[in-house]
Each structure stands twice: as structure tokens, then as C-alpha cells.
Structure 1
Amino acid sequence: MNLKRHINVALGYFIIAAFFGVVLRSFHSFEIPINYKFVVHGHSHIALMGWVYMGLTTLIYKLFLANKALEVKYRRIFWFTQLTLVGMLVTFPFQGYALFSIVFSTLFLLASYWFVWFFLKHIPAEYIHTNSYQCIKLALWYMVLSSIGPWCLGIIMNTLGAGSIWYRLSIYFYLHFQYNGWMVLALLGLFIYVIEGKGIKVPRKTFRQFFWMINLGILASFFLSTLWTKPSMFLYVLGGMGAVLQIGALAVLFVFSRKVMGALTKIFNPLQNKVLITIGVLLALKMFLQWVSAFPYFARLAASITDFTIGYLHLTFLGVVSMGLFLFLDYFRLLKLSVGAFVLFFIGFVLTEGLIFYKGIASWLGFGIFKGYYGSLALASLLVFVSLVTLLVRKGQGELE
């Protein structure tokens, strides 16, 4: 089974999501006969479930499970998942949340449960006590936990309505445990897998500190997503403690990485080392912004100015998660990351983030945005799209060679 083709499919979904992003950013500059909200739903679902989910699960299968005996079972899960993704792709942009899109997104949840069961059932005994497996296993459970949000949405819409605070809380519950639990922890698990494979031992005490702090932090920091409801000060403190614990966990991992820096730099090639450093800086920035949002003034600011929320989510998705996937897919030779494609992607990412946060700051401080802002944002988004197309084309040429 050629897993590189599975990554081609995942990258194809990312390209489609990026194209939707360009369309959405062009909305203010051109008259486009589409429903903006519907395309937003298509954009987010295909990005998270098509690109990130497919990329991570393909890596997890390759590293922990891949063998001839399991290929048929895994292939069934893969094709069933594709059915659900294509179904969402052809329904969400045209009808938003409606019967068929809900059916396909529900089937996707069942497909993800199927993969988690498959992973836990067939994991080889040699991995059970590894640090990387502990992280990946918890990451998958966070993915399952996050699905409580979508399950609740249908009930809430039929009882309390979309205007209820529980509707928004369900979405934030899903996003929090997807981003912080499933995606970030899975990437950290892959990093630990790489260094374990090269014989770098993480001391038991160091790993336990990291593991408990990151997981307690993930659970407690969810309450940062509830602060827009103006709850009691206890939840501000609890959410802030969660953010501090996550920062502490990353500090533990960083200190350990500094001690073995010489060995680490030999594991990755020069481009991969630069990508790894970039991810580290962006992850630190993400954690800092998360911690800042625990303070009441900034919590209200983040809740009232949508651009700050969008900028933070894109910082995590495009910066930390997507670059993390590029790194590990390149390292495990499922994708060939070229310097040109990555630089183009990075420039597009920096420009879009800068413009999104600029608009948020303009709303905050009360000054107007410059003329041509929306056109500039669309062009910056186009750079991301072009970089991904370049990556897919070069990948195809490399496979032909």
C-alpha cells in the first residue's frame, strides 16, 4: 500500500481548503454569487478533517501499525473516511449545516472512532510502554472527547436554538480539544517518536513532568474558551493555570532538547531543523497568547473582536500544525518539502497573520484599515494556495522520477 498517495489526497484537501480561503478573502473585493457562511463551513471542515486528520492518521498508521496483515482493514477505514470527506466537500459549501452535510459529518465521526479502535486493538506490544505511544494514545482520546461538541450541537439547535450560549460553547469545546489535545499532542508524540528512534532517551522523571503538565493544562485551559460568558473569577484562574501548565510542559521539553541539541541537529536535515525552530517559536507564541487571554480585559477583547480569534486559530492551524505535518511528512519521506515551496507558504502565512491581527488591532484602538486591505489579504492567501499546489506538483514529479 502506497501511503504517499494517501498524503497526496490529504494535500489535495488542503489545496481545496486554501482555495476556499482565497474565495472568502476575495468576498469584499468582488461580487461572488455564493453563500459566505456555507463556504466557511466547507473551508474549516475540509482543512481540519481532510488535511490534518488524514495527515496525522497516515503518519500514525505508518509508524505504529503498518504491516501486510493490517492493510486490508486499514484500507477499509481509509476509503470509508474518503466517502465522508467527499460528502462534506460537496454539501457544506452549498447548503451549510443541513441534512446531508450533517449525515456526512456524523459518518466522519464514526470513521474516526473506527480508526481509534483499530489503533488501540492492533498496537504492537513493543510500543505499549514507549513515551511516544502514551502521547499518541492520549491525543486520539482527545479527538474522541472533542466530538462531544458536534454531538451536542444537533440537540442544542433543536431545543435551545443557535442563539444559545451552549451552541457556541459546543463549538469551542470541539475546537479546543481538536487543536490543543488531538493535533498539538499528536505532533509532540511524533517528535518524541523520532528522538526515541534515534536512541535519545527522555529520562522517566522528565517525561512524567511533561506528560502530566501538558495533559492537566489541556483539560484546564478549556475554560479559557468559556470566559466570553463572563463566569466567576474561579474559571479565569483555572483557565490561566491550564495555560501556565502547558507553558511549563513545553519548557520541560525545551530544557531537555537543549541538553541533547547536538544529537537533535544531526537527526534532521538543514531545512527540517529550520522548520522545527519555526514551529517552536510559533508554538511558544500560541501558548503566550493563550495565557494572556486568561486576564479579564484580554478575554473580553478576544471575545468581542473576531479577528483576534481567527488570527489565533490560523496561527495554530497554519503555523504550528501544518508546518509540523510538513516536517514529519518530509522526515518520514511521505512528502518532499522543497525550500521554495516552504518559503512561499511561510511568507503567505506571515502576511495573512499580520493582516488579520492588524485589522483586529485597528478595531481595538479605533483606527481605520488601509485602502486595499481586503485585496492584500486575498493576495496573501493566494500565496498559501500557490505554495501548496507547488508542493503537490513537485511531489508528483519526485514520485515519477
Structure 2
Amino acid sequence: MENNLNLFKTKQWVQIALINFCVVALAGVTMRYKINFSLPEINQQNLMHGHSHFAFVGWIAMALMILMVRYLIRNNLPTNYKKYNWILTAELLVSYAMFVSFIIEGYAFWSILFSTATIFISYFFIFFYWRDLNKIRNTGFSILWLKATLVLWAFSSLGAFMLAYLMAHHIMIQDLYFSAVYFFMHFQYNGWFLFACFGIFFSYMHRLGVDHISSLSKWLFIIMAVTVVPTYFLSILWLRLPLALVWIADISGVLQLFVLYYFIKILFLVQRSKNIQFSWSTKWLWRLSSISFFLKITLQMLSTIPYLSHYAFGFRPIVIGYLHLSFVGIISLFILGYINEFIHRFRGHVSGVGAIIFVIGFIVQEVVLMLQGLEAMNVQPIKSANIILFYCAVLMAGGLIWITTGIMRTQQHEEELSLTTVK
């Protein structure tokens, strides 16, 4: 069984995922450069599509898949891990083909083909992973988080298929287009991305013996599971929705208060637990991720106010800032913190300097984007906002490259392949 477990080399896959994150960041730098300087060789719209799709598939989805497979390894599951290597290899190749095709042609035959292929690859992962999850016993409540992750992941693909259909048939109905986009994105970043992070986190807490938060994690799961579908309507309040759906959206938004209550209570108990000794880097990465989650839920609740909802979805800088708050602030910082815990046992670590540079760029970017959005409320505009955002993108890319090259220089240890060293 040990040799079978060793067929999946987590560290190598983590390095690949981080390289992909660097590619995402460099694409962001290129887009910000083009806004400020001449770069006629690049189509901005095409690059934006490639950047966003590759961020979803090449970075976040791949990183979470890797950590989810590691969950099976930690639980000593005797299964054929070759299938996950093949799935991730296919995901890697197709995601790069999708990225390049979007840059060259935008939404057209090849980009739609490759983006659709990533969805079918995810179906293979969902099928095999669900089957392997059913073989695991006595792992705490985290297994239900991970099963919900798979359901929401599959459900989110309905939005992607609708979007692909609209683009392929040149159906330019704006309401349908944005409804499909927000459906896909909502069930990605409010759905399977978040549920996967919580599942990975609670499984780690269970392994460390922090079981006194299990009842709180159940309540957090119930509220998030109940509200994940109706909160989608908060994203499309600009449509003329039936009054019943508006009320459902508003009530689900208010229920997010309970999400914050249980989330804060869990953080408080984890911080007081004597069984946990996180490294310094992990602590502040996860604290920043927690702050981002708190801000996101708060903004989601405020979007139930019609006046604020108009500004939330009507101004591009606010939308971009909110999405980056979710993808970078919550998901990516959590993943980086967990990666730091994973490689810490093997004399490696996420570079503190690189992480600080990355976080500074991210925080300044968020502030500038939100202030840009406030210009619609007659707030004094920021001078040279676009050039500041360009330098923020450079900082984020530089920090990520620093982190990635530092991890890749970490000496390989044979003990990484031993089950006894796995956390």
C-alpha cells in the first residue's frame, strides 16, 4: 500500500500549481501594463478571458484538487493514485491550451472546446473522488464538506455550459450572458472553492485533535449549505426578479450573520487550543484570509440594500475588487498557508518576504479598486490610480515568483514519500 500511496507526489504537484499562479499574476501585470502603456500586439479582452479562466482552472482548481487528494493519503486510503496523476496531467495540459487559445482568438471554437474539456476532466475527478470518499471512516465532519464540494462543483458547470452555448451561437442577450457568468462564478467561489477550503481546514483540525469545534463546524456547514443556492440571486438583483426571489435573496443575505457568528467562534476556539502550533507565516496568512472572508460576507449582506446593490454590480472596479477579495484574499491566501504547513515538515517554507510583498500589492490594489468605485458617489478620484494598480500587479507577481522559486529550491527528502511523515 505504501508504494501505491507514493505514486502521488504532492510536493511536485504543488510546485506546478504555484507556477500556474505565477502565470496568472504575470497575465495580470500584462493587462495592467496595457492600460497604461502601448501594447498593440495583445488583445486586452482576449487576455482578460484567458487570465480569468486560467486562474480558475490552472491555479485554484488544481491546487484544491491536489490538497483534496492529499486528504485521501493522510487517511491511508488504499486506492490507485495513478488516476489522479492522469487527471491532473490532463487538467494541466488542457488549461494551458485553453489559456493560449483565449489569448489568440478570444471566445471562439478552440477556447470553448478546451474550456469545455476542463469541465469534463472535473467530472472524472468528481466521480473517482466521491467513490474514494465513501471508503473513508471516522474522519470527523470534514467528509461532508468535501462531498458538498463535489456537488457544487458539478452544479457550477451548468453556468459554463450556458455561457459556452450563448457565445458559440452568438446570442448577445446581455441579461442571459451575465446570469450565466454569475451562476458559474457564484457556485465556484461561494460554492466548491469555499467548501473545499473548509473541508481541508477541518480535516486538518481533526488530525491535530481539535475536535471541540466539530459541532460548530456542523452548524456552519448547515447554514452555508442552505444559503449557497439562494444567495446566487443576490448576484442578479439588477434583473427584474419575482418578488418572492428577491425576498429569498434578502433573507439568505441576512442569514450570513450566522455564518460570521459561527466562523468567528471557531476561530476563537482554534486560537485558544493548546494542540495547535502553526508557524508564524501560516498564522498571518490565515488571519488575512479570515479577515477577507469576514469582509466578503459583510459586503454580501450589504448588497441586500437596493441602493448599495446598484453600486456593487454597476461599477467594474468594485466588481473586480470583490472578486479578487474572494479569489486572492480568501482562497489563495488559505492555500498558501496550508502549503506552508505541508512543506514545513520537509524543511521548507513559504518565503515570508515573498508573502509580504504579495500581500502588500494585494491590499493596496483592493483599496484603490474600492476607492475607484466610490468615485461614482462623487468621492474625489485617485490620481494615477491605473499606474498604482500596475505597480500593485508587479508586486503581487514578484512576491509569488519569490515564493515559488524558494519552494522549488527546497531540498527533496525521501521522508516526504513516507506515509509516516504525512500530517
TM-score range, shorter chain: over 0.9
- Please report how far the alpha carbon of residue 31 of structure 1 lies from its aligned counterpart in structure 2 after TM superposition: 0.8
Q: Does 1:269 align with 2:279?
A: yes
For the 8 Å contact 2:79–2:132, the answer to whether it is kept is no
Aligned partner letter, 1:121: R
Q: Does 1:44 align with 2:52?
A: yes
CA RMSD of aligned residues (A): 2.1
Within 2, Cα distance between the matches of 1:96 and 1:127? 46
Within 1, Cα distance between the matches of 2:169 and 2:106? 19
In the alignment, which residue of structure 1 is the partner of 2:363? 350
Residues 273-315 of structure 1: per-residue CA shift (max 9 Å, x gap): 2222221111100100111111111111122211111110001
Q: Does 1:10 align with 2:17?
A: yes
DSSP-derived class of the 2:60 partner? helix
- Please report how far the alpha carbon of residue 141 of structure 1 lies from its aligned counterpart in structure 2 after TM superposition: 1.3
In the alignment, which residue of structure 1 is the partner of 2:354? 341
For the 8 Å contact 2:58–2:96, the answer to whether it is kept is no
Going from structure 1 to structure 2, the CA distance change for 1:200 and 1:355 (only over 3 Å counts) comes to same
For the 8 Å contact 2:371–2:381, the answer to whether it is kept is no
In the alignment, which residue of structure 1 is the partner of 2:409? 397
Within 1, Cα distance between the matches of 2:289 and 2:33? 29
- Please report how far the alpha carbon of residue 178 of structure 1 lies from its aligned counterpart in structure 2 after TM superposition: 0.2
DSSP-derived class of the 2:34 partner? coil
For the 8 Å contact 1:218–1:246, the answer to whether it is kept is no
- Please report how far the alpha carbon of residue 143 of structure 1 lies from its aligned counterpart in structure 2 after TM superposition: 1.1
Q: Does 1:63 align with 2:76?
A: no
In the alignment, which residue of structure 2 is the partner of 1:249? 259
1:155-170 matches, cutoff 5 A = 155-157=165-167, 161-170=171-180
DSSP-derived class of the 1:125 partner? coil
Aligned partner letter, 1:386: G
Match of 1:93 among 75, 99, 103: 103
Q: Does 1:142 align with 2:135?
A: no
1:178-197 matches, cutoff 5 A = 178-197=188-207
For the 8 Å contact 2:364–2:392, the answer to whether it is kept is yes
Within 1, Cα distance between the matches of 2:229 and 2:18? 30
In the alignment, which residue of structure 2 is the partner of 1:378? 390
Residues 76-95 of structure 1: per-residue CA shift (max 9 Å, x gap): 11221122112112211111
DSSP-derived class of the 1:85 partner? helix
Within 1, Cα distance between the matches of 2:28 and 2:275? 35
DSSP-derived class of the 2:304 partner? coil
DSSP-derived class of the 1:259 partner? helix
Q: Does 1:361 align with 2:374?
A: yes
DSSP-derived class of the 1:268 partner? coil
- Please report how far the alpha carbon of residue 353 of structure 1 lies from its aligned counterpart in structure 2 after TM superposition: 0.8
For the 8 Å contact 2:358–2:399, the answer to whether it is kept is yes
- Please report how far the alpha carbon of residue 400 of structure 1 lies from its aligned counterpart in structure 2 after TM superposition: 5.7
- Please report how far the alpha carbon of residue 366 of structure 1 lies from its aligned counterpart in structure 2 after TM superposition: 5.6
- Please report how far the alpha carbon of residue 160 of structure 1 lies from its aligned counterpart in structure 2 after TM superposition: 7.6
Structure 1 window deviating more from structure 2 (288-297 vs 209-218): it is 209-218
- Please report how far the alpha carbon of residue 38 of structure 1 lies from its aligned counterpart in structure 2 after TM superposition: 0.2
Within 2, Cα distance between the matches of 1:96 and 1:322? 26
Going from structure 1 to structure 2, the CA distance change for 1:205 and 1:75 (only over 3 Å counts) comes to closer
Residues 319-359 of structure 1: per-residue CA shift (max 9 Å, x gap): 01100100111112287212111111110001111111111
For the 8 Å contact 1:17–1:47, the answer to whether it is kept is yes
Within 1, Cα distance between the matches of 2:213 and 2:17? 35
Within 2, Cα distance between the matches of 1:287 and 1:76? 37
Within 1, Cα distance between the matches of 2:216 and 2:10? 34
In the alignment, which residue of structure 2 is the partner of 1:238? 248
**Aligned structure 1 segments of 4 or more residues deviating by more than 6 angstroms:** none
Q: Does 1:332 align with 2:342?
A: yes
Going from structure 1 to structure 2, the CA distance change for 1:376 and 1:207 (only over 3 Å counts) comes to closer
- Please report how far the alpha carbon of residue 68 of structure 1 lies from its aligned counterpart in structure 2 after TM superposition: 7.1
Structure 1 window deviating more from structure 2 (65-74 vs 308-317): it is 65-74
Aligned partner letter, 1:54: M
5+ long unaligned stretches in structure 2: 1-7, 414-423
Structure 1 window deviating more from structure 2 (300-309 vs 67-76): it is 67-76
Residues 119-173 of structure 1: per-residue CA shift (max 9 Å, x gap): 0112263347631111011012111111000111233345681233111100000
For the 8 Å contact 2:31–2:48, the answer to whether it is kept is yes
Going from structure 1 to structure 2, the CA distance change for 1:341 and 1:8 (only over 3 Å counts) comes to same
Going from structure 1 to structure 2, the CA distance change for 1:266 and 1:155 (only over 3 Å counts) comes to closer
Going from structure 1 to structure 2, the CA distance change for 1:203 and 1:278 (only over 3 Å counts) comes to closer
Structure 1 window deviating more from structure 2 (245-254 vs 317-326): it is 245-254
Match of 2:39 among 19, 22, 32: 32
- Please report how far the alpha carbon of residue 388 of structure 1 lies from its aligned counterpart in structure 2 after TM superposition: 0.7
Going from structure 1 to structure 2, the CA distance change for 1:270 and 1:96 (only over 3 Å counts) comes to same
- Please report how far the alpha carbon of residue 260 of structure 1 lies from its aligned counterpart in structure 2 after TM superposition: 4.5
Residues 349-385 of structure 1: per-residue CA shift (max 9 Å, x gap): 0111111111111133264431x32211101110000
Residues 47-76 of structure 1: per-residue CA shift (max 9 Å, x gap): 111110111000000112476741222221
Within 2, Cα distance between the matches of 1:88 and 1:332? 30
1:302-313 matches, cutoff 5 A = 302-313=312-323
Within 2, Cα distance between the matches of 1:179 and 1:378? 25
Going from structure 1 to structure 2, the CA distance change for 1:126 and 1:224 (only over 3 Å counts) comes to same
Q: Does 1:109 align with 2:119?
A: yes
- Please report how far the alpha carbon of residue 265 of structure 1 lies from its aligned counterpart in structure 2 after TM superposition: 7.4
Structure 1 window deviating more from structure 2 (360-369 vs 105-114): it is 360-369
Within 1, Cα distance between the matches of 2:88 and 2:185? 23
Within 1, Cα distance between the matches of 2:271 and 2:165? 50
In the alignment, which residue of structure 1 is the partner of 2:418? none
